[in-house]
Structure 1
Amino acid sequence: MDEKIDSSLTMQETEAPAVSPEPDKKSGVVETIQQLGQTAVPVPGESNVYCLTIIGQIEGHLVLPPQNKTTKYEHVIPQLVAAEQNPRIEGLMIILNTVGGDVEAGLAIAEMIASLSKPTVTVVIGGGHSIGVPIAVASDYSLIAESATMTIHPIRMTGMVIGVPQTFEYIEKMQERVVRFVTTHSHISEQMFKELMFKTGELNRDIGTAVGGNDAVKHGLIDAIGGIGEGLKKLNSLIELTRPAKQGMEGAITQ
Protein backbone atom coordinates (compact mmCIF):
# COMPACT_ATOMS: atom_id res chain seq x y z
CA MET A 1 0.00 0.00 0.00
CA ASP A 2 2.81 2.35 0.91
CA GLU A 3 4.59 1.55 -2.33
CA LYS A 4 1.47 2.46 -4.33
CA ILE A 5 1.14 5.75 -2.51
CA ASP A 6 4.80 6.56 -3.04
CA SER A 7 4.62 5.70 -6.74
CA SER A 8 1.50 7.83 -7.24
CA LEU A 9 3.20 10.75 -5.52
CA THR A 10 6.24 10.27 -7.71
CA MET A 11 4.09 10.30 -10.82
CA GLN A 12 2.37 13.49 -9.71
CA GLU A 13 5.70 15.15 -9.04
CA THR A 14 7.40 14.05 -12.24
CA GLU A 15 4.49 14.30 -14.63
CA ALA A 16 3.19 17.69 -13.48
CA PRO A 17 3.30 20.03 -16.49
CA ALA A 18 5.81 22.85 -16.26
CA VAL A 19 4.15 26.20 -15.62
CA SER A 20 4.78 28.58 -18.46
CA PRO A 21 6.31 31.89 -17.32
CA GLU A 22 4.36 33.76 -19.98
CA PRO A 23 1.10 34.16 -17.96
CA ASP A 24 3.04 35.42 -14.96
CA LYS A 25 4.91 37.87 -17.15
CA LYS A 26 1.69 39.03 -18.78
CA SER A 27 -0.06 39.45 -15.44
CA GLY A 28 2.96 41.36 -14.14
CA VAL A 29 2.76 43.82 -17.04
CA VAL A 30 -0.99 44.29 -16.50
CA GLU A 31 -0.43 44.88 -12.80
CA THR A 32 2.29 47.43 -13.54
CA ILE A 33 -0.02 49.30 -15.90
CA GLN A 34 -2.80 49.31 -13.30
CA GLN A 35 -0.57 50.45 -10.44
CA LEU A 36 1.88 52.83 -12.11
CA GLY A 37 0.45 53.55 -15.54
CA GLN A 38 3.65 52.10 -17.04
CA THR A 39 4.29 49.06 -19.21
CA ALA A 40 7.58 48.46 -17.41
CA VAL A 41 9.63 49.78 -14.52
CA PRO A 42 13.34 50.65 -14.85
CA VAL A 43 14.93 47.19 -14.93
CA PRO A 44 17.77 45.91 -17.14
CA GLY A 45 16.30 45.46 -20.60
CA GLU A 46 16.89 46.01 -24.28
CA SER A 47 16.11 49.74 -24.51
CA ASN A 48 18.55 52.35 -23.25
CA VAL A 49 15.74 54.92 -22.97
CA TYR A 50 13.15 54.89 -20.19
CA CYS A 51 9.78 56.50 -20.89
CA LEU A 52 7.91 57.99 -17.95
CA THR A 53 4.31 59.15 -18.36
CA ILE A 54 2.73 61.80 -16.13
CA ILE A 55 -0.97 62.01 -16.89
CA GLY A 56 -4.18 63.18 -15.24
CA GLN A 57 -4.01 64.98 -11.92
CA ILE A 58 -0.83 64.87 -9.86
CA GLU A 59 -1.79 63.34 -6.54
CA GLY A 60 -0.01 64.58 -3.45
CA HIS A 61 -0.43 63.89 0.24
CA LEU A 62 -4.20 63.42 -0.05
CA VAL A 63 -5.82 60.55 -1.95
CA LEU A 64 -8.14 61.81 -4.69
CA PRO A 65 -11.54 60.22 -5.49
CA PRO A 66 -11.35 56.98 -7.50
CA GLN A 67 -12.99 58.51 -10.58
CA ASN A 68 -10.02 60.89 -11.00
CA LYS A 69 -7.20 59.97 -13.37
CA THR A 70 -4.11 60.52 -11.24
CA THR A 71 -0.34 60.24 -11.21
CA LYS A 72 0.84 59.42 -7.70
CA TYR A 73 4.11 61.08 -6.79
CA GLU A 74 5.08 58.17 -4.54
CA HIS A 75 5.10 56.03 -7.71
CA VAL A 76 7.01 58.49 -9.90
CA ILE A 77 9.84 59.25 -7.46
CA PRO A 78 10.99 55.61 -7.02
CA GLN A 79 10.92 55.17 -10.82
CA LEU A 80 13.20 58.17 -11.25
CA VAL A 81 15.59 56.85 -8.61
CA ALA A 82 15.63 53.42 -10.26
CA ALA A 83 16.28 54.95 -13.69
CA GLU A 84 19.17 56.99 -12.29
CA GLN A 85 20.73 53.90 -10.70
CA ASN A 86 20.28 51.58 -13.69
CA PRO A 87 23.48 51.61 -15.79
CA ARG A 88 21.64 50.31 -18.86
CA ILE A 89 19.37 53.37 -19.02
CA GLU A 90 21.14 56.25 -20.75
CA GLY A 91 18.29 58.72 -21.07
CA LEU A 92 14.72 59.48 -19.99
CA MET A 93 11.75 60.73 -21.95
CA ILE A 94 8.91 62.25 -19.93
CA ILE A 95 5.50 62.32 -21.62
CA LEU A 96 3.31 64.97 -20.03
CA ASN A 97 -0.47 65.34 -20.26
CA THR A 98 -1.64 66.69 -16.93
CA VAL A 99 -4.16 69.17 -15.56
CA GLY A 100 -1.87 69.96 -12.62
CA GLY A 101 -2.48 69.03 -9.01
CA ASP A 102 -0.61 69.13 -5.71
CA VAL A 103 2.00 71.92 -5.77
CA GLU A 104 4.60 70.32 -3.50
CA ALA A 105 4.27 66.92 -5.19
CA GLY A 106 4.65 68.53 -8.62
CA LEU A 107 7.68 70.52 -7.51
CA ALA A 108 9.22 67.38 -5.99
CA ILE A 109 8.89 65.55 -9.31
CA ALA A 110 10.27 68.56 -11.20
CA GLU A 111 13.27 68.87 -8.87
CA MET A 112 14.06 65.17 -9.25
CA ILE A 113 13.92 65.36 -13.06
CA ALA A 114 16.17 68.42 -13.01
CA SER A 115 18.70 66.70 -10.72
CA LEU A 116 19.10 63.55 -12.86
CA SER A 117 22.61 63.07 -14.25
CA LYS A 118 21.28 61.39 -17.40
CA PRO A 119 19.87 63.29 -20.41
CA THR A 120 16.17 64.06 -20.19
CA VAL A 121 13.60 65.26 -22.72
CA THR A 122 10.03 66.31 -21.94
CA VAL A 123 7.21 66.14 -24.49
CA VAL A 124 3.96 67.96 -23.67
CA ILE A 125 1.00 66.40 -25.45
CA GLY A 126 -2.56 67.53 -24.80
CA GLY A 127 -1.74 69.77 -21.88
CA GLY A 128 0.84 70.62 -19.27
CA HIS A 129 -1.24 72.83 -17.02
CA SER A 130 -0.66 74.49 -13.67
CA ILE A 131 2.03 72.64 -11.69
CA GLY A 132 2.70 70.65 -14.86
CA VAL A 133 4.57 73.72 -16.16
CA PRO A 134 7.60 73.25 -13.82
CA ILE A 135 7.70 69.54 -14.71
CA ALA A 136 7.67 70.40 -18.42
CA VAL A 137 10.68 72.71 -18.17
CA ALA A 138 12.66 70.56 -15.69
CA SER A 139 14.32 68.43 -18.38
CA ASP A 140 17.38 69.21 -20.47
CA TYR A 141 15.20 69.83 -23.53
CA SER A 142 11.46 70.38 -23.80
CA LEU A 143 9.04 69.91 -26.68
CA ILE A 144 5.34 70.66 -27.03
CA ALA A 145 2.77 69.53 -29.56
CA GLU A 146 1.40 72.39 -31.63
CA SER A 147 -2.15 71.67 -30.43
CA ALA A 148 -1.15 71.36 -26.76
CA THR A 149 -1.73 74.07 -24.16
CA MET A 150 -0.20 75.12 -20.86
CA THR A 151 -2.27 77.03 -18.31
CA ILE A 152 -0.31 79.46 -16.16
CA HIS A 153 -2.14 80.82 -13.13
CA PRO A 154 -1.48 81.70 -9.46
CA ILE A 155 -1.47 79.06 -6.75
CA ARG A 156 -4.89 78.24 -5.30
CA MET A 157 -5.69 76.51 -2.03
CA THR A 158 -8.50 74.09 -1.28
CA GLY A 159 -9.99 73.16 2.06
CA MET A 160 -9.97 75.32 5.17
CA VAL A 161 -8.08 78.59 4.85
CA ILE A 162 -7.23 80.66 7.93
CA GLY A 163 -7.79 84.31 7.09
CA VAL A 164 -4.61 85.77 8.55
CA PRO A 165 -1.65 87.55 6.93
CA GLN A 166 0.55 84.49 7.50
CA THR A 167 -1.63 82.44 5.13
CA PHE A 168 -1.13 84.98 2.35
CA GLU A 169 2.62 85.06 2.98
CA TYR A 170 2.79 81.26 2.83
CA ILE A 171 0.97 81.17 -0.53
CA GLU A 172 3.17 83.97 -1.85
CA LYS A 173 6.38 82.17 -0.86
CA MET A 174 5.21 78.93 -2.46
CA GLN A 175 4.28 80.83 -5.60
CA GLU A 176 7.74 82.37 -5.71
CA ARG A 177 9.21 78.86 -5.57
CA VAL A 178 7.27 77.96 -8.71
CA VAL A 179 8.22 81.18 -10.50
CA ARG A 180 11.90 80.77 -9.58
CA PHE A 181 12.03 77.17 -10.75
CA VAL A 182 10.33 77.86 -14.09
CA THR A 183 12.43 80.92 -14.93
CA THR A 184 15.64 79.12 -13.92
CA HIS A 185 14.97 76.06 -16.09
CA SER A 186 13.57 77.83 -19.15
CA HIS A 187 14.23 80.92 -21.26
CA ILE A 188 11.18 82.89 -20.15
CA SER A 189 11.79 86.01 -18.09
CA GLU A 190 10.32 86.44 -14.63
CA GLN A 191 8.45 89.54 -15.77
CA MET A 192 6.83 87.72 -18.71
CA PHE A 193 5.94 84.66 -16.63
CA LYS A 194 4.27 86.76 -13.93
CA GLU A 195 2.47 88.79 -16.59
CA LEU A 196 0.99 85.57 -17.99
CA MET A 197 0.23 84.31 -14.48
CA PHE A 198 -1.75 87.37 -13.36
CA LYS A 199 -3.47 88.22 -16.64
CA THR A 200 -7.21 88.86 -16.33
CA GLY A 201 -10.03 88.37 -18.78
CA GLU A 202 -8.74 85.28 -20.58
CA LEU A 203 -9.66 82.41 -18.26
CA ASN A 204 -13.25 81.90 -17.20
CA ARG A 205 -13.66 82.30 -13.40
CA ASP A 206 -9.88 82.58 -12.91
CA ILE A 207 -6.88 84.74 -13.69
CA GLY A 208 -3.98 83.55 -15.79
CA THR A 209 -3.25 82.54 -19.37
CA ALA A 210 -3.74 79.46 -21.52
CA VAL A 211 -0.60 79.34 -23.65
CA GLY A 212 -0.68 77.35 -26.89
CA GLY A 213 2.22 75.37 -28.33
CA ASN A 214 3.57 78.09 -30.62
CA ASP A 215 3.19 80.80 -27.97
CA ALA A 216 4.96 78.63 -25.38
CA VAL A 217 7.96 78.42 -27.70
CA LYS A 218 7.75 82.12 -28.58
CA HIS A 219 7.78 83.13 -24.91
CA GLY A 220 10.79 80.88 -24.24
CA LEU A 221 8.85 78.58 -21.93
CA ILE A 222 9.39 75.50 -24.14
CA ASP A 223 12.36 74.87 -26.43
CA ALA A 224 10.61 73.69 -29.61
CA ILE A 225 7.49 72.32 -31.29
CA GLY A 226 7.53 68.55 -31.65
CA GLY A 227 6.25 65.16 -30.62
CA ILE A 228 7.52 61.69 -29.82
CA GLY A 229 9.69 61.32 -32.92
CA GLU A 230 11.45 64.64 -32.42
CA GLY A 231 11.79 63.92 -28.72
CA LEU A 232 13.50 60.57 -29.25
CA LYS A 233 15.77 62.07 -31.91
CA LYS A 234 16.84 64.86 -29.54
CA LEU A 235 17.28 62.46 -26.62
CA ASN A 236 19.48 60.13 -28.69
CA SER A 237 21.64 63.08 -29.74
CA LEU A 238 22.04 64.13 -26.09
CA ILE A 239 22.96 60.54 -25.18
CA GLU A 240 25.62 60.49 -27.89
CA LEU A 241 27.13 63.66 -26.45
CA THR A 242 27.40 62.15 -22.97
CA ARG A 243 28.90 58.83 -24.11
CA PRO A 244 32.48 60.06 -24.80
CA ALA A 245 32.69 61.65 -21.33
CA LYS A 246 31.26 58.51 -19.74
CA GLN A 247 33.69 56.24 -21.58
CA GLY A 248 36.58 58.50 -20.61
CA MET A 249 35.64 58.29 -16.93
CA GLU A 250 35.33 54.50 -17.11
CA GLY A 251 38.75 54.28 -18.79
CA ALA A 252 40.33 56.44 -16.10
CA ILE A 253 38.86 54.22 -13.37
CA THR A 254 40.11 50.99 -14.98
CA GLN A 255 43.63 52.41 -15.49
Structure 2
Amino acid sequence: MREEQRDEMKETGGLDLDGIHIMTIIGEIEGHQNAAQGTKTTKYEHMIPDLARVEQDDRIRGVLILINTIGGDVECGLALAELIASLSKPTVSLVLGGSHSIGVPLAVSADYSFIVKSATMMIHPVRTGGTFIGVIQSYRNIEKIQDRITRFISDHSHMKQKEIERLMLAVGEQVKDVGTVLSGEEAVEKGLIDHLGGMKEAFAKLGELCDTASECTK
Protein backbone atom coordinates (compact mmCIF):
# COMPACT_ATOMS: atom_id res chain seq x y z
CA MET A 1 0.00 0.00 0.00
CA ARG A 2 1.34 3.41 -0.99
CA GLU A 3 2.03 6.09 1.64
CA GLU A 4 -0.81 8.32 0.40
CA GLN A 5 -3.22 5.36 0.62
CA ARG A 6 -2.19 4.73 4.21
CA ASP A 7 -2.76 8.40 5.04
CA GLU A 8 -6.19 8.29 3.40
CA MET A 9 -7.19 5.22 5.38
CA LYS A 10 -6.01 6.79 8.63
CA GLU A 11 -7.85 10.06 8.04
CA THR A 12 -11.22 8.95 6.62
CA GLY A 13 -11.38 5.17 6.91
CA GLY A 14 -11.75 5.06 3.12
CA LEU A 15 -9.59 3.84 0.26
CA ASP A 16 -9.83 4.18 -3.54
CA LEU A 17 -8.95 0.93 -5.29
CA ASP A 18 -9.24 0.48 -9.07
CA GLY A 19 -12.33 2.69 -9.41
CA ILE A 20 -13.97 1.34 -6.24
CA HIS A 21 -14.10 3.42 -3.06
CA ILE A 22 -13.88 1.21 0.02
CA MET A 23 -15.49 2.86 3.03
CA THR A 24 -15.26 1.50 6.58
CA ILE A 25 -17.77 2.13 9.37
CA ILE A 26 -16.27 0.65 12.51
CA GLY A 27 -16.46 0.97 16.28
CA GLU A 28 -18.62 3.81 17.58
CA ILE A 29 -20.12 6.41 15.25
CA GLU A 30 -18.84 9.66 16.69
CA GLY A 31 -21.00 12.72 16.10
CA HIS A 32 -21.51 15.96 17.99
CA GLN A 33 -19.69 14.68 21.08
CA ASN A 34 -16.22 13.13 21.26
CA ALA A 35 -16.15 9.46 22.20
CA ALA A 36 -14.24 8.25 25.25
CA GLN A 37 -10.48 8.16 24.91
CA GLY A 38 -9.25 4.87 23.47
CA THR A 39 -12.57 4.13 21.71
CA LYS A 40 -12.44 3.08 18.06
CA THR A 41 -14.62 5.52 16.13
CA THR A 42 -15.98 6.45 12.74
CA LYS A 43 -15.88 10.23 12.66
CA TYR A 44 -18.93 11.98 11.22
CA GLU A 45 -16.99 15.10 10.19
CA HIS A 46 -14.55 12.97 8.14
CA MET A 47 -17.26 10.93 6.42
CA ILE A 48 -19.30 13.86 5.06
CA PRO A 49 -16.56 15.41 2.86
CA ASP A 50 -15.40 11.92 1.85
CA LEU A 51 -18.90 11.09 0.58
CA ALA A 52 -19.07 14.43 -1.25
CA ARG A 53 -15.73 13.66 -2.91
CA VAL A 54 -16.93 10.21 -3.95
CA GLU A 55 -20.01 11.71 -5.59
CA GLN A 56 -17.99 14.22 -7.60
CA ASP A 57 -14.99 12.05 -8.56
CA ASP A 58 -15.57 10.59 -12.04
CA ARG A 59 -12.83 8.02 -11.47
CA ILE A 60 -14.94 6.31 -8.78
CA ARG A 61 -17.46 3.87 -10.25
CA GLY A 62 -18.90 2.41 -7.06
CA VAL A 63 -18.68 2.21 -3.27
CA LEU A 64 -18.18 -0.82 -1.01
CA ILE A 65 -19.12 -0.13 2.62
CA LEU A 66 -17.63 -2.48 5.23
CA ILE A 67 -19.52 -2.29 8.53
CA ASN A 68 -18.72 -3.48 12.03
CA THR A 69 -20.24 -0.99 14.44
CA ILE A 70 -21.86 -0.86 17.87
CA GLY A 71 -23.85 2.21 16.82
CA GLY A 72 -23.40 5.66 18.28
CA ASP A 73 -24.73 9.16 17.65
CA VAL A 74 -28.26 8.70 16.30
CA GLU A 75 -28.65 12.00 14.44
CA CYS A 76 -25.23 11.77 12.80
CA GLY A 77 -25.56 8.09 11.94
CA LEU A 78 -28.92 8.70 10.27
CA ALA A 79 -27.48 11.69 8.39
CA LEU A 80 -24.66 9.51 7.04
CA ALA A 81 -27.18 6.84 6.02
CA GLU A 82 -29.16 9.47 4.09
CA LEU A 83 -26.00 10.65 2.33
CA ILE A 84 -25.05 7.11 1.29
CA ALA A 85 -28.59 6.46 0.04
CA SER A 86 -28.47 9.65 -2.06
CA LEU A 87 -25.22 8.81 -3.89
CA SER A 88 -25.56 8.44 -7.66
CA LYS A 89 -22.78 5.82 -7.70
CA PRO A 90 -23.72 2.14 -7.09
CA THR A 91 -23.27 1.12 -3.45
CA VAL A 92 -22.98 -2.25 -1.70
CA SER A 93 -22.74 -2.78 2.07
CA LEU A 94 -21.23 -5.77 3.88
CA VAL A 95 -21.91 -6.35 7.59
CA LEU A 96 -19.00 -8.04 9.36
CA GLY A 97 -19.23 -8.85 13.06
CA GLY A 98 -22.22 -6.64 13.72
CA SER A 99 -24.18 -3.56 12.75
CA HIS A 100 -26.12 -2.51 15.81
CA SER A 101 -28.45 0.33 16.73
CA ILE A 102 -27.99 3.24 14.27
CA GLY A 103 -25.73 0.88 12.32
CA VAL A 104 -28.92 -0.78 10.99
CA PRO A 105 -29.94 2.21 8.81
CA LEU A 106 -26.34 2.47 7.62
CA ALA A 107 -26.33 -1.18 6.55
CA VAL A 108 -29.55 -0.87 4.54
CA SER A 109 -28.69 2.53 3.01
CA ALA A 110 -26.73 0.90 0.17
CA ASP A 111 -28.30 -0.22 -3.11
CA TYR A 112 -27.62 -3.84 -2.12
CA SER A 113 -26.66 -5.30 1.26
CA PHE A 114 -24.78 -8.41 2.40
CA ILE A 115 -24.14 -9.88 5.84
CA VAL A 116 -21.80 -12.71 6.82
CA LYS A 117 -23.42 -15.68 8.51
CA SER A 118 -21.75 -15.07 11.90
CA ALA A 119 -22.68 -11.37 12.11
CA THR A 120 -25.57 -9.93 14.14
CA MET A 121 -27.80 -6.87 13.96
CA MET A 122 -29.43 -5.28 17.01
CA ILE A 123 -32.65 -3.27 16.75
CA HIS A 124 -33.60 -1.38 19.91
CA PRO A 125 -35.31 1.88 20.97
CA VAL A 126 -33.44 5.18 21.02
CA ARG A 127 -31.51 5.56 24.26
CA THR A 128 -30.67 8.86 25.89
CA GLY A 129 -29.32 10.12 29.19
CA GLY A 130 -28.94 13.29 31.21
CA THR A 131 -31.50 15.68 32.66
CA PHE A 132 -34.96 15.87 31.09
CA ILE A 133 -36.80 19.21 31.07
CA GLY A 134 -40.41 18.45 30.24
CA VAL A 135 -40.69 14.67 30.32
CA ILE A 136 -43.74 14.39 28.03
CA GLN A 137 -42.17 16.62 25.39
CA SER A 138 -38.86 14.74 25.57
CA TYR A 139 -40.66 11.40 25.21
CA ARG A 140 -42.57 12.63 22.15
CA ASN A 141 -39.32 13.85 20.60
CA ILE A 142 -37.74 10.42 21.11
CA GLU A 143 -40.80 8.83 19.49
CA LYS A 144 -40.36 11.10 16.47
CA ILE A 145 -36.68 10.15 16.17
CA GLN A 146 -37.58 6.45 16.35
CA ASP A 147 -40.22 6.95 13.67
CA ARG A 148 -37.61 8.56 11.39
CA ILE A 149 -35.28 5.61 11.93
CA THR A 150 -37.88 2.87 11.40
CA ARG A 151 -39.26 4.64 8.31
CA PHE A 152 -35.79 4.91 6.81
CA ILE A 153 -35.08 1.21 7.45
CA SER A 154 -38.43 0.24 5.93
CA ASP A 155 -37.88 2.47 2.87
CA HIS A 156 -34.46 0.89 2.18
CA SER A 157 -35.14 -2.76 3.00
CA HIS A 158 -37.89 -5.34 2.48
CA MET A 159 -39.28 -5.02 6.01
CA LYS A 160 -42.51 -3.25 6.95
CA GLN A 161 -42.24 -0.38 9.42
CA LYS A 162 -44.67 -2.08 11.86
CA GLU A 163 -42.49 -5.21 11.95
CA ILE A 164 -39.38 -3.12 12.63
CA GLU A 165 -41.20 -1.36 15.47
CA ARG A 166 -42.28 -4.73 16.89
CA LEU A 167 -38.69 -6.01 16.92
CA MET A 168 -37.51 -2.71 18.40
CA LEU A 169 -39.87 -3.00 21.36
CA ALA A 170 -39.66 -6.77 21.89
CA VAL A 171 -39.21 -7.95 25.51
CA GLY A 172 -37.23 -11.04 26.54
CA GLU A 173 -34.45 -11.01 23.94
CA GLN A 174 -32.00 -9.01 26.05
CA VAL A 175 -31.28 -8.88 29.78
CA LYS A 176 -32.78 -5.74 31.39
CA ASP A 177 -33.45 -4.21 27.99
CA VAL A 178 -35.88 -4.28 25.09
CA GLY A 179 -35.13 -4.91 21.44
CA THR A 180 -34.09 -7.78 19.17
CA VAL A 181 -30.78 -9.29 18.07
CA LEU A 182 -30.89 -10.88 14.62
CA SER A 183 -28.33 -13.35 13.30
CA GLY A 184 -27.08 -12.97 9.76
CA GLU A 185 -29.50 -15.62 8.51
CA GLU A 186 -32.44 -14.08 10.39
CA ALA A 187 -31.66 -10.62 9.02
CA VAL A 188 -31.90 -12.02 5.48
CA GLU A 189 -35.00 -14.14 6.21
CA LYS A 190 -36.85 -11.10 7.56
CA GLY A 191 -35.87 -8.95 4.58
CA LEU A 192 -33.68 -6.54 6.51
CA ILE A 193 -30.57 -7.50 4.51
CA ASP A 194 -30.62 -8.63 0.90
CA HIS A 195 -28.27 -11.62 0.96
CA LEU A 196 -25.83 -13.73 2.95
CA GLY A 197 -22.29 -13.34 1.65
CA GLY A 198 -18.78 -12.06 2.18
CA MET A 199 -16.15 -10.04 0.38
CA LYS A 200 -16.24 -12.09 -2.83
CA GLU A 201 -20.00 -11.78 -3.20
CA ALA A 202 -20.00 -8.08 -2.31
CA PHE A 203 -17.34 -7.22 -4.90
CA ALA A 204 -19.10 -9.32 -7.54
CA LYS A 205 -22.44 -7.58 -6.93
CA LEU A 206 -20.83 -4.13 -6.95
CA GLY A 207 -19.12 -4.94 -10.25
CA GLU A 208 -22.46 -6.01 -11.69
CA LEU A 209 -24.16 -2.78 -10.52
CA CYS A 210 -21.30 -0.66 -11.88
CA ASP A 211 -21.48 -2.39 -15.27
CA THR A 212 -25.25 -1.80 -15.40
CA ALA A 213 -24.80 1.86 -14.47
CA SER A 214 -22.15 2.28 -17.19
CA GLU A 215 -24.47 0.78 -19.80
CA CYS A 216 -27.25 3.16 -18.74
CA THR A 217 -25.02 6.24 -19.21
CA LYS A 218 -23.86 5.28 -22.72
Q: Per the shorter chain, which TM-score range?
A: over 0.9
1:59 aligns with 2:30: yes
Identical aligned pairs, as a percentage?
Answer: 48
TM-score, normalising length: structure 1? 0.82
1:160 to partner: Cα distance: 2.4
2:13/2:23 contact within 8 Å kept: no
Distance (whole Å) between structure 2 residues aligned to residue 222 and residue 29 of structure 1: 30
1:218 alignment partner in structure 2:
189
- Match in the other structure for 2:101: 130
Deviation at 1:32?
3.3
Of 19, 25, 48, the residue aligned with 1:48 is 19
Structure 1 position 82, deviation (Å): 0.5
Does 1:90 pair with 2:61? Answer: yes
* 1:172 corresponding residue in structure 2: 143
Match of 1:112 among 79, 83, 88: 83
Higher RCO, Cα 8 Å, sep 6+: 2
* C-alpha separation in 2, matches of 1:161 and 1:68: 27
Structure having the larger proportion of residues in strand: 2
Q: What is the distance in 2 between the residues matched to 1:194 and 1:202?
A: 15
Stretches of structure 1 that go unaligned for 5 or more consecutive residues are: 1-24, 248-255
Among 126, 140, 149, the residue aligned to 1:155:
126
Secondary structure at the aligned position of 2:106 is classed as helix
Q: TM-score, normalised by structure 2?
A: 0.95
How far apart, in 1, do the equivalents of 2:198 and 2:54 lie?
A: 22
Query: Which runs of no fewer than 5 residues in structure 2 stay unpaired?
Result: none
Q: Distance in 2 between matches of 1:37 and 1:136?
A: 16
Higher helix share goes to which structure?
1
What CA distance in whole angstroms lies between the structure 1 residues aligned with 2:7 and 2:207?
A: 30
RMSD across aligned C-alpha pairs, in angstroms? 1.5
Q: Aligned partners of 1:223, 1:134: CA distance in 2, in Å?
A: 13
